[in-house]
Amino acid sequence: MSQTGVQARRSAVYLLDQVLGEGRLMSELIGAGALDKLQPADRATAQRLATETLRGIERADRLLQKHLQKYPPLTVHNALRIATVELCQGGAAHGIVNSAVEIVGANKRTASMKGLVNAVLRKIAATGVELWPTLRTPRMPKWIRDPLVAAYGNDVVAKMEVAHFAGAPLDLMAKGDHGALQRSLGGELLENNTVRLTDAGQVSMLPGFKRGSWWVQDAAASIPVQVLDPKEGESVLELCAAPGGKTMQIAATGAQVRAVDSSKNRMVRVRENLKRTRFKAELVVGDALEETGSWDVILLDAPCSATGTMRRHPDLPFAKDGSEFGELIDLQSQMLDHAIGLLKPGGRLVFCTCSLLPDEGECQVEDALARHSDISTDVAALKVPGVDPAWITEEGGLRLRPDYWADKGGMDGFYIACLRKS
């Protein structure tokens, strides 16, 4: 962080203003250059502060309520939230409070609230560290919590919320020897050969990044390709490929992959990652529903609500409201039917979504099986290292949840099914 920390904290406030006020995702904001003017260390700090505040926003607001008659304008509120989270995590009060006061004071519309900010944060500094752990684990917003409770029950959702609040470690996939990567960077080598790091710091500064020795990919996100099990020399069609982690996984096996995605901007990232890791793939910017041909091996990572990634992206439940669910579910169904139509007899198709909602996973496969009499689920393909057989679902898919591997730091929520055509 810079000497005063003001620039990083000001940028964190901006990120929260955009997420909570405009419904924008942090990944979109950062991709559009929201933090580009900051030094690398401040850039990482701004993103960390915004992320940690979103995770703990319920607790921060409960503490602030004790000292406010009503909530102030959003920018002031967000400055208070960020400072509260920092203070309750044991940060030095002097710098945190002064930064918040300076940020609020720099805006003519909020400058009159400097005194309020200073007074409130001094009270938080005196009691916050002690009170913070006594507050309940923050809950998801009702728009996503209610359907998850209906699907899994209160106890399971509460475990998910514990995982979300804890955040996510950094998972890496090695280009070569996973054991060598673990020995080089430390951390833990998981059962599925993911190397897991805690407190990794700035990713681009880790050994091996520039050489392309590894790429970042949550452990759960690596399982669909392990289920697909591509072989050297096989031709694989990957639909909805960006941001490219699975593309690199497939390429690493020696298979030839045609990676298709509709987003030109997201495909730029795929191309950059392939260049860094020196993998080869055919990249196509286009509509998956317009793909033609006949394939033995297909991976469809369908567009979805991304609710399974909330432990890594706590902005998601605040930037979205669930209004797009119906449209996404219809699109998934169309894409699954189209992919089945591209599959050769005897071929295999892995369908997956990074969603916790059964409508975007279990129900999609149940309905597809009813529509296509020549398709069946391959349960044996799901039994890859690290997968508990209890995670296999009634229709023959695999349900991953953030509270799984709780003693190791959890995993993203995913649904995965391997379909075979007779």
Please state whether 263 falls in left (phi above 0), alpha (psi between -120 and 50) or beta. beta
pLDDT recorded at residue 397: 98
Q: Where are the alpha helices (DSSP H) in 109-187?
A: 114-131, 142-152, 154-166, 178-185
Contact 205, 213 (CB under 8 A): no
CATH 1.10.940.10-classified regions of the chain:
6-134
Question: pLDDT (tens digit, 9 = 90+) per residue, 230-271?
Answer: 999 999 999 999 999 999 999 999 999 999 999 998 999 999
Smallest CA-to-CA distance from 297 within 331, 333, 250, 330 is with 250
Architecture of the domain whose range is 6-134: Orthogonal Bundle (1.10)
Tokens in use for 402? 């953030």
Q: Where are the alpha helices (DSSP H) in 254-390?
A: 264-277, 316-319, 325-342, 362-371
Question: pLDDT (tens digit, 9 = 90+) per residue, 141-171?
Answer: 999 999 999 999 999 999 999 999 999 999 9
pLDDT at 1 over 80: no
Contact 157, 97 (CB under 8 A): no
Smallest CA-to-CA distance from 137 within 416, 402, 348 is with 402
Helix (H, G, I), strand (E, B) or coil at 379: coil
Bridge partners, 398 (sequence order)? 392, 416
Residue 2: band (very low, low, confident or very high) from pLDDT cuts 50, 70, 90: very low
pLDDT at 4 over 90: no
Sign for the pseudo-dihedral over CA of 138, 52, 240, 221: negative
d(CA 419, CA 422): 10
Task: Name residue 408's amino acid.
Answer: K
Q: What is the mean pLDDT of residues 365-378?
A: 98
Please state, rounded to an integer, the average pLDDT across all residues of the chain: 96
pLDDT recorded at residue 206: 92
pLDDT at 3 over 70: no
Bridge partners, 188 (sequence order)? 196
Smallest CA-to-CA distance from 275 within 295, 247, 240 is with 247
Question: pLDDT (tens digit, 9 = 90+) per residue, 197-228?
Answer: 998 878 888 999 999 999 999 999 999 999 99
CATH 3.40.50.150-classified regions of the chain:
218-421
Catalytic residue numbers? Answer: 354
d(CA 409, CA 146): 25
Return the C-alpha torsion angle 107, 109, 112, 118, nearest 10: -50
Q: What is the 3-state secondary structure (H, E, C) of 61-75?
A: HHHHHCCCCCCCCHH
d(CA 136, CA 139): 8
Contact 250, 230 (CB under 8 A): yes
218-421 CATH, one of 3.40.640.10, 3.40.1390.20, 3.40.50.300, 3.40.50.150 = 3.40.50.150
d(CA 400, CA 413): 5
Question: pLDDT (tens digit, 9 = 90+) per residue, 16-68?
Answer: 999 999 999 999 999 899 999 999 889 999 999 999 999 999 999 999 999 99
